[in-house]
Structure 1
Amino acid sequence: MRITSRKAVLSGLAMAGIAAVLAGCAAAPDATKTTAAASKYLPCMVSDSGGFDDKSFNQLGLEGLQAGAKAIGAKEKHVESNADTDYAPNIDSLVAANCNLIITVGFNLSAASLAAAKANPDIQFAIIDDAADANFDGKVDEPNIKPILFDTAQAAFLAGYASASYSKSGIVGTFGGMQYPTVTIFMDGFADGVDYYNKQKSKSVKVVGWDVASQKGSFTGGFAANDTAKSTAKNLIDQGADVIFPVGGPIFQSAGAAITDSGKDIALLGADADVFNTFPTYDKLYLTSVLKGIKTATQAVVEASAKQAKGTFDNVPYVGNLKNNGVGIAPFHDFASKVDPKLQGELDSIKADIISGKITVKSYLSGN
Structure 2
Amino acid sequence: MKTWKRTTAAAAVALVASAALAACGDAPDEDNDSNASEKSDFLPCILSDAGGFDDKSFNQLSYEGVQEAAKELGSDYKQFESKNENDYAPALENFVAQGCDAIVTVGFALSAATVESAKANPDIEYILIDDAADNDFDGTKDAENIKPILYDTAQAAFLAGYAAADYTKTGTVGTYGGQPFPTVTIFMDGFKQGVEYYAANKGKDVKLVGWEGNDKGVFTGGFDANEKATNTAKQILDQNADVILPVGGPIYQGALTAIADSGKDVALIGVDADFFETDPNTQDLVLTSILKNMKTSTIEAVVAAGNGDFDAEAYVGTLENDGVGLAPFHNFESKISDTLQAELDEVKQGIIDGSIPVTSYLSS
TM-score norm. by structure 2 comes to: 0.88
Give the equivalent residue in structure 1 for 2:21. Answer: none
Whole-angstrom distance in 2 between the partners of 1:128 and 1:37: 29
Give the equivalent residue in structure 1 for 2:308. Answer: 308
Does the residue aligned with 1:39 lie in a helix, a strand or coil? coil
Whole-angstrom distance in 1 between the partners of 2:93 and 2:327: 37
What's the offset of the Cα at 1:211?
A: 0.4
Q: Which has the higher contact order (CA 8 A, sep 6+)?
A: 1
Give the equivalent residue in structure 2 for 1:263. Answer: 263
Please tell me the residue identity of whatever aligns with 1:321. Answer: T
Q: CA RMSD, aligned part only?
A: 1.2
Whole-angstrom distance in 2 between the partners of 1:84 and 1:136: 21
Deviations, residues 164-207 of structure 1 (Å, cap 9, x unaligned): 00000000000000110000000000010000000110011000
Alignment of 1:337 with 2:338, yes or no, is no
Whole-angstrom distance in 2 between the partners of 1:216 and 1:266: 24
Give the equivalent residue in structure 1 for 2:231. Answer: 231
Partners of 1:38 and 1:307 within 8 A in 2: no
Pairs aligned (count): 328
Please tell me the residue identity of whatever aligns with 2:235. Answer: N
Alignment of 1:104 with 2:105, yes or no, is yes
Whole-angstrom distance in 1 between the partners of 2:174 and 2:144: 41
Whole-angstrom distance in 2 between the partners of 1:42 and 1:155: 34
Give the equivalent residue in structure 1 for 2:219. Answer: 219
What's the offset of the Cα at 1:38?
A: 8.0
Whole-angstrom distance in 2 between the partners of 1:146 and 1:186: 22
Give the equivalent residue in structure 2 for 1:290. Answer: 290
Quickly say closer, same or farther: Cα 1:37–1:180, change in 2 above 3 A: farther
Please tell me the residue identity of whatever aligns with 2:353. Answer: S
Give the equivalent residue in structure 2 for 1:193. Answer: 194
What's the offset of the Cα at 1:337?
A: 0.5
Please tell me the residue identity of whatever aligns with 1:326. Answer: G
Please tell me the residue identity of whatever aligns with 1:349. Answer: E
Identity between Structure 1 and Structure 2 (%): 59
Partners of 2:38 and 2:74 within 8 A in 1: no
Give the equivalent residue in structure 1 for 2:27. Answer: none
What's the offset of the Cα at 1:305?
A: 1.0
What's the offset of the Cα at 1:37?
A: 9.8
Higher mean C-alpha deviation, range 167-176 or range 136-145? 136-145
Whole-angstrom distance in 1 between the partners of 2:346 and 2:282: 30
What's the offset of the Cα at 1:40?
A: 1.3
Quickly say closer, same or farther: Cα 1:38–1:126, change in 2 above 3 A: farther
Partners of 2:178 and 2:222 within 8 A in 1: yes
Whole-angstrom distance in 1 between the partners of 2:261 and 2:289: 22
Higher mean C-alpha deviation, range 95-104 or range 135-144? 135-144
Alignment of 1:280 with 2:280, yes or no, is yes
Higher mean C-alpha deviation, range 53-62 or range 128-137? 128-137
Larger radius of gyration: 2
Please tell me the residue identity of whatever aligns with 1:104. Answer: T
Whole-angstrom distance in 2 between the partners of 1:306 and 1:295: 16
Give the equivalent residue in structure 2 for 1:92. Answer: 93
What does 1:27-176 correspond to in 2, within 5 Å? 39-176=40-177
Please tell me the residue identity of whatever aligns with 1:273. Answer: A
Please tell me the residue identity of whatever aligns with 2:352. Answer: I
Whole-angstrom distance in 1 between the partners of 2:208 and 2:215: 13
Please tell me the residue identity of whatever aligns with 2:64. Answer: E
Deviations, residues 3-48 of structure 1 (Å, cap 9, x unaligned): xxxxxxxxxxxxxxxxxxxxxxxxxxxxxxxxx9982111110000
Higher mean C-alpha deviation, range 247-256 or range 151-160? 247-256
Partners of 2:180 and 2:215 within 8 A in 1: no
Whole-angstrom distance in 2 between the partners of 1:75 and 1:342: 49
Give the equivalent residue in structure 1 for 2:13. Answer: none
What's the offset of the Cα at 1:282?
A: 2.2
Whole-angstrom distance in 1 between the partners of 2:117 and 2:144: 12
Whole-angstrom distance in 2 between the partners of 1:233 and 1:141: 36
Higher mean C-alpha deviation, range 38-47 or range 234-243? 38-47
Quickly say closer, same or farther: Cα 1:37–1:362, change in 2 above 3 A: farther
Give the equivalent residue in structure 2 for 1:321. Answer: 318
Whole-angstrom distance in 1 between the partners of 2:241 and 2:93: 45
Whole-angstrom distance in 1 between the partners of 2:257 and 2:136: 41
Whole-angstrom distance in 1 between the partners of 2:340 and 2:113: 44
Whole-angstrom distance in 2 between the partners of 1:280 and 1:105: 24
Alignment of 1:355 with 2:352, yes or no, is yes
Whole-angstrom distance in 2 between the partners of 1:314 and 1:140: 14
Deviations, residues 275-309 of structure 1 (Å, cap 9, x unaligned): 11111112100000000011011001001111226
Does the residue aligned with 1:88 lie in a helix, a strand or coil? helix
Does the residue aligned with 1:183 lie in a helix, a strand or coil? helix
